[in-house]
Amino acid sequence: MLWAYMSFSQFLIIWAGNLKDEIPWYMARAFGGWGALAVFLIVMHFAVPFLLLLQRGVKRRLHLLSIVTGMLVVLTLVDVYWLVVPAFASERKSPQLHVSDFLAVIGIGGIWVGTYIWQLKKMPLLPLHDPRFEGALQHEHGD
């Protein structure tokens, strides 16, 4: 909901204010394949997850919640693609995927995962020398 609110608020301010410097940004993304992608994002990145997460059954089933979460992660990547690529591909009137698009996500994601694992090895996941925590572990296992 925050994504939809922020995106719509920004669009509304630019549209109502008739900000000449900002209008070309929206014009490049409003027509052709980019416009269809924008509608797809509105429906799949906001409306569908919103309606799915209103249902108690979806929130109580981990596998369904995982599917919705995975869908949102992928759609966030699509949203970033929609935000960035039209500025660099002004001659293209529709989205076209290239190998470099996938390699960039894999490369940046790999750097993030590598850094996360490196930091994880340096710091313990469980608090050390905390008497309250040790008692909680004993209570949990029934020792």
11, 23 contact by CB (below 8 A): no
Output the CA angle 112-115-118, nearest 5 degrees: 150
**Can you tell me the distance from the alpha carbon of 69 to that of 46, in angstroms, rounded to the nearest whole number?**
12
| Residue 97 DSSP symbol | -
**Can you tell me the distance from the alpha carbon of 85 to that of 63, in angstroms, rounded to the nearest whole number?**
33
pLDDT value for 107: 97
pLDDT value for 128: 73
pLDDT value for 141: 55
Which H or E element spans position 8?
helix 2-17
Task: Tell me which residues of the chain have a pLDDT lower than 70.
Answer: 90, 92, 134-143
